[in-house]
Amino acid sequence: MTGYVALLRAVNVGGRGILAMKDLQTLCSELGLDNVRTYIQSGNVVFESERPEAALKRMLEAAITKRLGRAVQVLIRTAAELKAIVEANPFPDAQPDQVGVVFLPKPVRPNVLAEIVIQGREEVLAVGREVFVHYPDGMGRSKLKLPFATDGTTRNLNTVGKLLAMATG
């Protein structure tokens, strides 16, 4: 059995795509996933499965889309991948709630970060399929626009650490 974390994009944000975490947990259990647990109301689910990532992604996206009546993107990482993401944090001295991790389906193209216009004090670095953003003035105050972020979903490092603890504990 492999430990996984699924991150749902654009659920429970701004009053649209409402999916109670208890319902998500039930849905995942009904799909045959084991040891299913959710974390906070932003679409984070931890589980175990023998299925590969691609199959899990397809299965979860289809089931959640059917449930909500609109397409929902799901990004999957193994517990081992999540551990590597936490360890790869390029901003180890920053407050964890000031570091956003943008989870993407594939790595960004190499020159995309050079195209970003940073108006504030943010720092942006890509590592694999993730983009780390240090928001020294807080995420809520940032005017930073990441054009590729629409393909993914962001969690702060506190949330990523909690998901890792759940997936490995």
Does residue 129 contact residue 104 with C-beta atoms inside 8 Å? yes
Tell me the pTM.
0.92
State the alpha helices, DSSP H only, in the chain: 21-30, 53-68, 79-87, 157-168
Burial of 153 (0-12, 13-18, 19+ CB in 10 A): buried
Which whole number is the average pLDDT over 21-46?
Answer: 92
User: What pLDDT was estimated at residue 12?
Assistant: 56
Predicted confidence (pLDDT) per residue in 62-75, tens digit: 999 898 888 889 99
Predicted confidence (pLDDT) per residue in 95-121, tens digit: 999 999 999 999 988 788 888 989 899
User: What pLDDT was estimated at residue 58?
Assistant: 96
Burial of 54 (0-12, 13-18, 19+ CB in 10 A): exposed
The partner residues of 131 in beta bridges, in order of sequence, read 102, 126
From residue 48, alpha-carbon distances to 34, 96, 137 in Å are 5, 26, 37
Q: How far is CA 24 from the centre of its chain?
A: 15
The partner residues of 13 in beta bridges, in order of sequence, read 16
* Domains with residue ranges and CATH for the chain: 2-80 (3.30.70.1280), 88-155 (no CATH)
**Residue length, the chain?**
169
